[in-house]
Amino acid sequence: MDYRDKSLLLVIFGITGDLAQRKLLPALYHLQQKGDLPPQTRIVGVSRRQTSVDQVFHPVQAALDGNHFDQRVFDQVKTLTEIVTMDLSSVEAYQSLRHRLRDISDEIGPGVSRLYYLSIPAEAFVSVVNQLGATGHNEPFATDIDQPRLLVEKPFGHNTASAKELVMVTEKNFGEQQTFRIDHYLAKETAQNILTFRFQNPLFQSIWNTRHIDAITIAAHETIGIEGRVAFYEQTGALRDILQSHLLQLLALVTMEAPAQLDSTSIHRAKLRLLDSIEPIGPEEVNTTAVRGQYDTYRDEVNNQHSRTETFARLKLRIDNEQWRNVAITLETGKALSEKLTEVAVHFRPTGQASGSNVLLFRLQPKEGITLLLQAKQPGLQNDTDIVEMDFDYKRSFGSTSEAYERVIIDAIRGDQSLFASSAEVLSSWRIVENVITTWAQSTKDLQKYPVGTDAKNL
Ligand code: BG6
């Protein structure tokens, strides 16, 4: 069944929050603009504070404003939306929300797919999911075509123990099949292309191992700082915010074995096998394999002169299997760096007379595409070589790409979990970084300070 033949009832908890405003509402606008939302769509924004549709959408419009801004489409999305103000601890509030959702379902049904998108502070998560379960939000209405689905934002917990609790709570109330753990990096076009590139191009398959590859580096550099998300970032830091989730997921895509099929179950199985084979960093290794830094204006920004939250993190990892033994794996991420860049670099071992190595780059942003760096002879009488690029650029080849959150919403309506993180993957990822978290929390050593705009190479 085409997902557009379903009706969509999207319930957004935390509609005034940073993520809904920066990613989700713009994605809904773009989907509407392209005609990719189901014709019968309704959005219910849940907020603890009294607010209005106009107030919620005002900053979104400011961010979207530009050459291609379409006021008519924007107003359509606003018309599809209503706000429910509720006290998240009140059972009656969940019950009356449920009544309202049932009325909307009756209006737009049959064939309704109901999604609950939770973009709420980590400390509210357990209680909200339990309340949703206790008041029957996890049960389908007569007009529904699917079981209601829960979409949750990372970080999923802040260590193994808390992640286990979240898994238990979601499992109890919604079940694994109904829980969609968003990792929006997986929905970026280049990330989606990693498996296709690896498994549909025989050229690379036989050299995708330690005999031919000596290093893999995955970097997510941002120029922005924490953009006012003080409470969230102080508790989270770069390791939890990006490395433990986005970067380990990318590493799994780059290094996992071929899945039996390109379907959700087989992909998750292969990804988990790979994550499980990454050696956790031992407590005694943390000082030599992990780097943490903090940009120099961070403490003023969070108004805490003693903050030891890292805004830069780098880890060196090892994969303990035949295919990847002795390949140096580096993951790094940071804010307030010199450039915005997310990229996976696969370094091939130099062989024979080669003067340098070949590098394959998966560029997730800003210029999405895939580049192969090769050695070539320079023109002229000498035999000097230089590095040249073979370049695939999405914009040039396909005209445009879609934003990750657009794909996230559509896949959740479809019920396709391929681009989401499973609970087992989340737990395996915490296991890998657990000792780094505890060692950093206990260490009295100060972090490496860096000026805003630093090149990550200097850290
Ligand atoms: C989010 C992090 O997951 O990813 C943010 O919480 C970060 O801190 C963002 O800024 C980066 O996403 P993107 O798509 O801009 O690379």
Whole-number pLDDT of residue 122: 84
Q: How confident is the model at residue 353 (pLDDT cuts 50, 70, 90)?
A: confident
Strands 328-334 and 179-182: unpaired
HSE (CB half, 13 Å, CA atoms) of 366? 5
Shared domain check, 9 and 71: yes
Shared domain check, 206 and 266: yes
153, 178, 195 — which closes off a domain?
A: 153
Mean pLDDT score of the chain: 95
Whether the pLDDT of residue 230 is over 90: the answer is: yes
Sheet of strand 341-348, all strands in order from the earlier edge strand to the far edge: 385-393, 369-377, 359-365, 341-348, 213-221, 328-334, 312-317, 290-295, 448-450
Determine whether the shortest distance from the Cβ of 222 to ligand 1 is under 6 A.
yes
Which residues fall within 8 angstroms of residue 282, CB to CB, at 6 or more apart?
435
CA distance 292 to 242: 13
We report the CATH number of the domain holding residue 278 as: 3.30.360.10
Which DSSP string corresponds to 209-248? Answer: STTTEEEEEEEEE-S---TT-HHHHHHHHHIIIIIIIIIH
Shared domain check, 192 and 91: no
Looking at per-residue pLDDT, the higher value among 262 and 141 belongs to 141
Determine whether the shortest distance from the Cβ of 183 to ligand 1 is under 6 A.
no
Whether the pLDDT of residue 337 is over 80: the answer is: yes
Distance 241 CA to ligand 1 centre (A): 8
Whole-number pLDDT of residue 384: 86
**CB-CB contact of 128 with 23 (8 Å):** no
In a domain, 67, yes or no: yes
In this structure, the residue with its CA closest to atom 4 of ligand 1 is: 242
In a domain, 180, yes or no: no
In a domain, 413, yes or no: no
Mean local confidence (pLDDT), 22-35: 95
In a domain, 409, yes or no: no
In a domain, 451, yes or no: yes
Shared domain check, 204 and 261: yes
**CB-CB contact of 311 with 427 (8 Å):** no
Determine whether the shortest distance from the Cβ of 406 to ligand 1 is under 6 A.
no
Mean local confidence (pLDDT), 205-218: 96
**CB-CB contact of 237 with 313 (8 Å):** yes
Distance 222 CA to ligand 1 centre (A): 8
136, 153, 170 — which closes off a domain?
A: 153
Which DSSP string corresponds to 335-351? Answer: SSBS--EEEEEEEEPP-
Shared domain check, 296 and 440: yes
Distance 23 CA to ligand 1 centre (A): 10
Q: Give the mutation target among 19, 185, 242, 337 for probing the ligand 1 site: most ligand atoms within 8 A of CB.
A: 242
Q: How confident is the model at residue 47 (pLDDT cuts 50, 70, 90)?
A: very high
Whole-number pLDDT of residue 246: 97
CA distance 153 to 389: 37
Shared domain check, 141 and 190: no
Strands 179-182 and 149-153: parallel
Is 58 among the catalytic positions?
A: no
Determine whether the shortest distance from the Cβ of 342 to ligand 1 is under 6 A.
yes
In a domain, 38, yes or no: yes
Shared domain check, 193 and 147: no
We report the CATH number of the domain holding residue 110 as: 3.40.50.720
Distance 60 CA to ligand 1 centre (A): 17
Q: Which of 451, 237, 198, 152 is nearest to 346 (CA)?
A: 198
Shared domain check, 195 and 136: no
pLDDT digits (tens, 9 = 90+) for 367-390: 999 999 999 999 999 988 889 999
**CB-CB contact of 16 with 50 (8 Å):** no
Determine whether the shortest distance from the Cβ of 189 to ligand 1 is under 6 A.
no
Catalytic residue among 221, 246, 268, 347: 246
pLDDT digits (tens, 9 = 90+) for 432-452: 999 999 999 999 888 999 999
Determine whether the shortest distance from the Cβ of 241 to ligand 1 is under 6 A.
yes
Return the sign of the alpha-carbon dihedral for residues 87, 91, 94, 96: negative
In a domain, 168, yes or no: no
100, 130, 153 — which closes off a domain?
A: 153
Distance 206 CA to ligand 1 centre (A): 34
Shared domain check, 276 and 340: yes
Q: How confident is the model at residue 236 (pLDDT cuts 50, 70, 90)?
A: very high
pLDDT digits (tens, 9 = 90+) for 149-162: 999 998 899 999 99
Q: How confident is the model at residue 288 (pLDDT cuts 50, 70, 90)?
A: very high
Shared domain check, 381 and 260: yes
Strand ranges inside 14-147, DSSP E: 41-47, 81-85, 112-118
Shared domain check, 200 and 78: no
Whole-number pLDDT of residue 402: 81
**CB-CB contact of 292 with 309 (8 Å):** no
In this structure, the residue with its CA closest to atom 2 of ligand 1 is: 241
Q: Percent of the chain beyond pLDDT 90? A: 90
Top mean-pLDDT range of 355-364, 393-402, 430-439: 430-439
Whether the pLDDT of residue 422 is over 90: the answer is: yes
In a domain, 215, yes or no: yes
**CB-CB contact of 152 with 174 (8 Å):** no
In this structure, the residue with its CA closest to atom 6 of ligand 1 is: 241
Helix (H, G, I), strand (E, B) or coil at 388: strand
Q: How confident is the model at residue 29 (pLDDT cuts 50, 70, 90)?
A: very high
Whole-number pLDDT of residue 121: 86
Residue 48 exposed, middle or buried by CB count within 10 Å (0-12, 13-18, 19+): middle
In this structure, the residue with its CA closest to atom 13 of ligand 1 is: 185
Whether the pLDDT of residue 80 is over 80: the answer is: yes
pLDDT digits (tens, 9 = 90+) for 117-146: 999 988 899 999 999 999 999 999 999 999
Number of domains the chain contains: 2
Q: Which domain holds residue 311?
A: 186-399+421-458
Element holding 364 (H helix, E strand)? strand 359-365
Whole-number pLDDT of residue 255: 98
Whether the pLDDT of residue 354 is over 80: the answer is: no
Shared domain check, 226 and 115: no
Whether the pLDDT of residue 97 is over 80: the answer is: yes
